[in-house]
């Protein structure tokens, strides 16, 4: 999965440092799962515009 701008910040760096990219999760790794969830979660400006 290519990194989107949301996947390059300090939270993602911390998750990588803590090993989330190496923890197995259905469909891939824990980090990939969290990134997919982040992609589906509306951002505040999207919620306000709705």
Local confidence band at 41 (pLDDT 50, 70, 90 cut-offs): confident
Secondary structure, 3-state, the chain: CCCCHHHCCHHHHHHHHCCHHHCEECCEEHHHHHHHHHHHCCCHHHHHHC
pLDDT score at 50:
58
Residue 12 structural domain = 5-49
Closest by alpha carbon to 21, among 13, 29, 12? Answer: 29
Number of structural domains in the chain: 1
pLDDT score at 8:
82
Task: Say what the pTM is.
Answer: 0.73
- What is the tens place of the pLDDT at every residue in 1-38? 455 666 888 999 999 999 999 999 998 999 999 999 98
pLDDT score at 1:
47
Closest by alpha carbon to 25, among 40, 12, 37, 41? Answer: 37
């Amino acid at each position: 999965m290519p990194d989107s701008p949301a996947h390059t910040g300090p939270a993602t760096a911390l998750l990588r440092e803590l090993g989330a990219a190496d923890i197995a999760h259905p469909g891939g790794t824990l980090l990939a799962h969290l990134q997919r969830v982040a992609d589906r979660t509306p951002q505040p400006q999207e919620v306000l515009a709705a």
